[in-house]
Every structure is written in structure tokens, then in C-alpha cells.
Chains A and B, each alone.
Chain A
Amino acid sequence: MKDAMISVKDRKLALTNIGVAYAAFLIGTLCGLLQVFIRNDALTLPGWLDYYQVLTAHGLLLAIVFTTFFIFAFFHSGISRTLGDFSPKVRGWNWAGFWVTLIGTMLVVVMIVAGQASVLYTFYAPLQAHGLFYVGLALFVIGTWIQGFALIAHYLKWKKQHKGELSPLFAFMTIATIILWVIACLGVVATVLFQFIPWAFGWTNGINVELSRSLFWYFGHPLVYFWLLPAYMAWYVVVPKIIGGRVFSDSLARLSFVLFILFSIPVGFHHQLTEPGIASFWKFLQTVLTFMVIIPSLMTAFSMFATFEMRGRELGGRGLFGWVSKLPWKDVRFTSIFIAMLFFIPGGAGGIINASFQMNEVIHNTLWVVGHFHITVGTPVAMTFFGLTFWLVPYLSGRRFTKSLQRMAFLQIATWSVGMLLMSTAQHLLGLLGAPRRTAYTGYQHDSALAWFDGVLSNHVTMAVGGSILFLSAILLIYIVVQLWWLAPKSDENSYVTFPIATSDTSATPAFLENWKLWIGIAIVLIAVAYTIPLSDMIQHAPPGSGRFQTW
């Protein structure tokens, strides 16, 4: 058991990242609770705080800060576990990256609290936040790059020492995710450095709004895969071990990650289907490319259920579905992630609807979209991270996940599921009826708008009840994290919490799957095909730039 433990210094690095993640989680979910009450006129904020400040904080703290810090904690511990302890140099760069990311986060948060950045997490120009908000965003990205490249350096050193060997699946997937992240961030870095910062500080006068939106969404869509791929890593590598099985197919797992690198980036226009400045042809082309990610998603679904069924049958399950009851449902590390997967079925189907070109008009910027990302990043990703937290924190802190904490964890995932089911169903239905997203208030005086709230589930109460249950669930989770980190009994030789890594048979895996140059090259070609002409059109036929507006 002991030899699977990573060094104390690497554990401290990962734990610190988790600490920041859950601090952001606590504040972010509190913001969410405030929102559901403000929208129903059940709560009035004090004069110094505004709904859109709260909404900006909710989006950034949960979708960006919580996810990113947690993901790096998972990477640090998993890479150290599978490729060996970090050298002082690699660890030092990871700490440097952590601090830069954290300073960027703090700068962004200070600007939001000061009322200088109520621009929401999409920060669409020509809404102009304080220049330091954009500096904070840039630092955040640079910090993650430093950590990403430090992990790549560690990986390359391992490759050098293991010539001709395929890397462990966990490491392969980490590197794929970092490659995706670095390529994706180029868009947001370009718009923040060359458009927003000079404009916000007054060095330039106008901003090309459509270009900035397109560069944002070049980043914005792969961003969701940056959240999703670490969850997939848990599904592919961790879950099979927890249930006592093995990876269904090593080569298919690697292939699916490669396909995500290729098809998650040249697709940003499907967030811009209803806007001018992009020809229908390019919107349609990117719609087609968007649909390609369905293939690795179906591969993942197949692998998961194949693993479950094979294991269930090993344990004596018979008949068509007898294996289901043999799975370890009493293990919250498994059940949490299984529920997360179930949520992704409607989540993924909703995503196909959203990206379906003209069908997008029915739901674009309605509450449907809000419902959609709460059952994608908000549950499949977030609840997978909860499922990881239950063993990762005690693994790193050297404590025990006691029986009573396990019961509490079950209560936590149950409340999260129920709360999210209520809230997101209400949001989906309201969106279909036409209710807009991102509004502080829902009282449009019109018969159509009044009818929105007459439904069994689409009424004022459902969303608020769902939101309240979710917040209680969040508090429970924070309590569990605090216990696992500082208060639970220390583990001993017999009760060591392990980092589950399933065996993956690489004997049939072709080596070209780890030929990064090849995949990065193809990704760049696809990006060039999808973006070169429409982006150069936007630059060549640019209207006079837009000025600076602070409308909040």
C-alpha cells in the first residue's frame, strides 16, 4: 500500500489547490443561492451589491476557479502517482504557476467586488470592465500554462527514461487535456492581450466586437472540454479500479482523447449561430465539426458500460441486467460518479440540440442554456469531482473516510442530484417557453411571460427550492472536506486510502496514438480550415471600433 503514496511535498501542492477550489466553491454556490431568491423578489440586495455582480462571481468562481484548481490538484497527485514524485524544479514551477493563477483570481475577484467588472464570465465587449480585471484573466491563464508546462516537462523526463514505452493512461490523458487547454487559450489570450487590455486602459479607442466574440468562443467551447476531460479521466481510469474491474480498451480510451483534441476547438461558432458577421457556410461547417465529438462521447459511454457489465458478470450477475445489482452501490466513490454519468445523458443530448444550427434559435440565450450547463458542468463534471474528493482529500491528508462521513457523502450527492434535477428541469422548461437567461427579475408584464410560471415544474418555486437544496448540499460537502482534511481520524497501515488507478492493457495499443506532433498538427489544420477565412473577413471588413461602455 505504502509504495503507492506520493511524496509529502507533492501532496501539499495538490491539497493547496483543492483548498482554493473549495473556497471558490463555497462563495460561488452562495452566490447561486442569492440569485434564485433575488429573481423571485424574495430578497433585496443591499445597495453596495448588485445582482449582476453576484452573477459574475457565481459564473467565474464555479465554472472557472473551482474547476481549474480542482483539475490541477487531480493532475498533480495523479501524475506524481503514475510517473513518480516531482523533482524540486518541476514542483517549484508548479508552485509558481499556482501563485500566478491565484493572484490572477484575486485580481478578478477584487474587481468584481469593487463593482468594476459586472461583465459576467463571458465579458463581451464593448462592456468595459476595469483594465485590471483583464490583467487578472491573463495572469490566470498564464499561471495555468506554467503548471501545464511543468507537468509536460515531468512527462517528457519520464518518456526519456522509458524509451519506446507508452505512458500510463492517466499521464497520457493529462497531457492530452493540457494540450487542448493550451491551444484553446490562444484565442482568449489573443483577445485579452491585443484587444481588451489596450482598449480598457485607453491606449486604443475602438474594439472590434465581433472579432473579440469569435476569439472568446474559440476558447469558450474547448473550455468545456477542459472541464469534461478530467471527469472522463476519472471515468476511464479511476472508476474501473473502484469497482474492481479494468480499463475496457486502452487504445479506445486514448483514441477518444485524441478525437477530443481534434474536434473540440474548431467549433466555437456554434455559440454564435444567431449573430451577424459570420457567413452561414462557416456556421454550418463548424456545426458539422461540433457533431464529430459525438463519436468519442459514444465511445466513452460504451467503454463505461462495458466495464460495468463485465465486472457485474464477474461478480455473478446473470441475465440481461442481473449484473447491475452486483455493482458496488454502497461505495459512494462509485455511486456519485455513476449518477454524474447518468446526468450527462440528457446533458449531452441537450448539447446536440443547442448546436443544431437553426434549432439553436429556439433556445439561444434562454434559461434552457442555463439548465443545460447545470446538467453538464454543474453535475456530470462537478459531481465526478465530488466523487474524487471523497478519496483524494484523505489520500493527501493521510486521514480516513469514516463510515459516518460516507453516510454524509451519500446525503450530499443525493441532495445535489435532487436539487439539480428540480432546478435544471425548471430552467429547461422555462427556456423552451422563451424566458431569457441572465436576468435579475422575471416580471415581464405580458401574458406570455406571466404564463411561464403556471406550470407544475416551471413555476417560481421549483427553481428556488432546487437552488436551496443545492446550497445545503454544498455546505455539507464543505463540511466533509474539512473533516477529511483536518479532523477525521488518521489512517494507519490497515486503513490507508489509496489512489485508484485501474490496470490498462497497452499490448494492443498502437504507438502512433502517442505521437503528439501528429495530433497537434491535425488540430492546427482543422482550426485553420474552420477559422482562417471567417476571421480574416472580420478583420478586413471591420466596422469602426466600439467605444467603452459601463452600463451597470
Chain B
Amino acid sequence: MHLHKYEKIWLGFGVFALIVFLSVVGVSAFHQGHTPSGGHMTIDPENVRGTAPFDEPGVHQREDGSYEVVIIAKAFGYEPSEIQVPVGEEVTFTVTSEDVVHSFSIVETNVNMMVVPGQVNHKTHTFSEEGSYLIVCNEYCGSGHHFMSTEIEVIGQ
């Protein structure tokens, strides 16, 4: 198969760029731990409130001093409806759904999690600035999808 010289240069450049891109993504993911949200725990979607940790939705401090926020998403809101976390601390969001697919997405941060019934999703985030952050559902979940939002207060220590 004949390849024109310029085409070789062009493809060589493209493949090189590809390798650089993927290396950056890979190192960032597996060396620095920047992976998107995920989780391996499954849950009975019909018995969410009877299953730990969703029997106690809310903010919990763990033994190592970090925080876990346990959230149940449902059409069309989140439980608990009021969330307060401290600034500068590691916060892990643990979410699942009681009904259909939702999302838990904190605007102006990289917390953007799919909430899938039957699955538990996790994402760790450290807020660097105090203030009120908007949380929206960005996966269509029914007629009230656009009303599904809440806020999270990040407070000083």
C-alpha cells in the first residue's frame, strides 16, 4: 500500500499526539488518582433505606477525619435536602437512586456523578472555597427533571 511522504508525516504526527494525549490521561488517572466517579457496590433498589449507609442519609465524619456525605436521589430531589461540609477537607459523596437514573452534579466542581438504581457511586472532592454550591440533576428523570436541584453549603472551620 502506497503512502505519500506528506501523509506519513501527518499520520506520524497524529499518532505521536495520540500517544502523548493518552499518556497524560493515563498518568493523571492511575498515578495521580484522577479517575471519574465510580463504584462496585450494588444495592437492592427497592430497599435503599434499609441498607447501610443509606439508612442514615447525611454528613458523617469518618474515623480518619475525612467526611462522607450519603445521599439518596429520587424523583425529583435529594435526601438530605440540606448539606453542610467544611472547606479544605476531603469529602466523599456516596449516592444511589430509589427510582430512576439521575445525576448528582455540583456546578463549578468536577463532581459530576451518574446515579444509577441498583448501584452505589462514589466521588471524593475537596472544596477549596467557602460558599453555596448549586447541585443539579443533569440526567433526564421525568417531568420534574428541571426542578431537581439542591445546594451544598461549604463552611469555614
Interface residues of A (CB under 8 A from B): 50, 52, 118, 120, 124-127, 208-210, 213, 249, 251-252, 255, 272-280, 283-284, 287-288, 291-292, 294-295, 298-299, 302, 306, 352, 356-362, 364-366, 433-434, 436-442, 444, 446-449, 508-510, 541-547, 549-552
Contact = CB atoms under 8 A, between A and B. Distances in A.
A57 to B, nearest CB: 14
Q: Which 4 A-B pairs have the closest CB atoms?
A: A551-B142, A436-B138, A543-B118, A275-B114
A128 B6 CA distance: 53
Interface stretch (B8-16, B52-60, B78-86): B8-16
B120 A448 contact: no
B18 interface: yes
A255 B11 CA distance: 13
A161 B39 CA distance: 56
A452 to B, nearest CB: 9
A440 B112 contact: no
Given A209-B101, A544-B46, A434 B39 contact: no
27 contacts: A118-B143, A208-B118, A210-B118, A249-B7, A274-B36, A274-B103, A275-B121, A276-B39, A279-B38, A284-B29, A291-B22, A298-B14, A302-B10, A356-B21, A356-B25, A357-B29, A358-B25, A361-B37, A365-B139, A446-B132, A543-B42, A543-B43, A543-B44, A544-B45, A546-B117, A549-B75, A551-B144
Contact of A352 (B21, B40, B133, B141): B21
Given A52-B143, A274-B121, 4 more contacts: A276-B116, A434-B107, A438-B138, A546-B117
Q: Most chain-B CB neighbours within 10 Å: which of A275, A276, A365, A547? A: A276
Contacts of A365: 103, 105, 112, 138-139
Contact of A295 (B11, B38, B99): B11
Given A274-B37, A287-B25, A448-B134, A294 B116 contact: no
B71 interface: no
B35 A50 contact: no
Given A276-B38, A280-B35, A543 B119 contact: yes
A383 B114 CA distance: 33
A214 to B, nearest CB: 11
B69 interface: no
A288 B22 contact: yes
Contacts of A52: 140, 142-143, 145
B122 to A, nearest CB: 7
B28 to A, nearest CB: 6
Contacts of A358: 25, 28-29, 34-36, 110
Contacts of B151: 446
A443 to B, nearest CB: 8
A291 B23 CA distance: 12
Contact of B140 (A120, A125, A510): A120
B146 A127 contact: no
A489 to B, nearest CB: 44
B81 to A, nearest CB: 14
A277 B141 CA distance: 20
Given A276-B37, A436-B105, A508-B2, A209 B29 contact: no
A444 B149 contact: yes
A251 B121 CA distance: 46
A272 B7 contact: no
B4 interface: yes
Given A272-B114, A449-B134, A543-B44, A126 B119 contact: no
A276 B120 contact: yes
B118 A438 contact: no
B25 A544 contact: no
B113 interface: yes
A224 B76 CA distance: 31
A441 B122 contact: no
B108 interface: yes
Contacts of A251: 1-2
A249 B26 CA distance: 35
Q: Most chain-B CB neighbours within 10 Å: which of A118, A127, A442? A: A127
Nearest to B76: A551
Contacts of B105: 365, 434, 436
Contacts of B121: 274-276
A541 B113 CA distance: 21
Contact of A440 (B14, B36, B110, B146): B146
Nearest to A248: B4
A273 B114 CA distance: 9
A119 to B, nearest CB: 8
A449 B11 CA distance: 43
Given A280-B35, A283-B36, A436-B138, A298 B118 contact: no
B100 interface: yes
Contacts of A509: 1
Nearest to B96: A276
B11 A361 contact: no
B73 interface: no
A121 to B, nearest CB: 10
B134 A275 contact: no
A58 to B, nearest CB: 13
A209 B140 contact: no
Contacts of B143: 50, 52, 118, 551-552
Q: Most chain-B CB neighbours within 10 Å: which of A125, A278, A434? A: A434
B70 interface: no
A253 to B, nearest CB: 11
A357 B44 contact: no
A443 B146 CA distance: 9
B72 interface: no
A276 to B, nearest CB: 4
B38 A126 contact: no
B91 interface: no
